[in-house]
Amino acid sequence: MLDWTSRDVEDCLRALLAELRRRRCFLVKIGPRLAVRRWSAATVKAAIGDPRVHRLRDVPADEVLPAANLASRLAAAGWRQYEAAGPGFGGTLQPRYGFEVALAGRDLPSVRAGLSPQWRRNITRAGKRGLIVERGGFDQLAEFHPLLIASGERGGFVPRDLRYYQRMWHSMADEDPGLLSLYLGRHQGQAHAGMLLVASGDRHSYTYGGSDTAGRDLRPSNAVQWRMLADAHEAGASVFDLRGVSDALAEEDPEIGLMRFKVGLGGDAVEYLGEWDYFLRPVLARAFTTYWNRRPH
């Protein structure tokens, strides 16, 4: 385990590079999940409404965190920040930007009060219309997968096949039966939204989710997301992690809907340190990077 906040991090990385060079590796990629900047939901909402703003990275952050100085230290040591151009999250292995709701030290009513008025109305509407949120198991993954496919058709992405999620379930259950949970929003027995939640330590993370079009008026996605957040709070989580967002803020951008949805939960948009490459064998590393950037995403 590497302590990224340690003053000795460069020495540790040099030792790692020496060993990997000895093993004839040509490229090393790291992506420590360290937050470097934060923007409140209010700041993001204001930026979305500003026609002069197109990217979150161009908006002054509400908080700059100590890990931000690690970027200059990595660059000075010869690491290169990976900035792949592309749709969505930009083609990186892990999203550069995410969204989190802090739960530590807050009671559930105050968390709910932090939701946008539209979110609170949608959650109330779902309950009044008879939508029920339940926790499912392995056998319900077959109901969950068509909801992913439906979201993919609307959003222009292709989900993995059902066997991937089944293998994921078994792998995590073998490690800890409580690590992975499936939530389904049902109306009259029909599942209209489904989401997977990973509970790792004090961080509970929304990982995959989908919904159909038929039940859209029931607001199942809002209801399921709120149930997951409430369960995370009850379990003592300090952070509810909604995972990746694009940093696009322009009204016409196709990714803006995802940002709007997550901002409604009242948390913070977060920029992470990102992915960094070290070219041990530059010719091979450049060839691989070129291929990686040009492959279909």
Tens of pLDDT, residue by residue over 159-173, are 899 999 999 999 999
Q: Which two tokens stand for residue 245?
A: 């967002």
Q: How far apart are the C-alpha atoms of 145 and 160, rounded to whole Å?
A: 9
The mean pLDDT of 123-130, rounded to a whole number, is 96
The mean pLDDT of 137-155, rounded to a whole number, is 94
Q: What is the pLDDT of residues 56-110, one digit of tens each?
A: 999 999 999 988 999 999 999 999 998 755 545 555 567 899 999 999 999 999 9
- pLDDT beyond 70 at 297: no
Q: How far apart are the C-alpha atoms of 151 and 279, rounded to whole Å?
A: 38
- pLDDT beyond 60 at 17: yes
Q: What is the pLDDT of residues 226-242, one digit of tens each?
A: 999 999 999 999 999 99
- Which pLDDT belongs to residue 82? 82
Q: Which two tokens stand for residue 2?
A: 């590497």
- Which pLDDT belongs to residue 295? 67
For the whole model, what pTM was predicted?
A: 0.86
Kindly list the structural domains of the chain, giving each domain's residue range(s) and its CATH number in brackets, ordered by start.
34-65+87-273 (3.40.630.30)
- Which pLDDT belongs to residue 87? 47
DSSP state of 55: B
The mean pLDDT of 241-248, rounded to a whole number, is 91
Q: Is 243 left (phi over 0), alpha (psi -120 to 50) or beta?
A: left
- Which pLDDT belongs to residue 296? 57
- Which pLDDT belongs to residue 163? 97
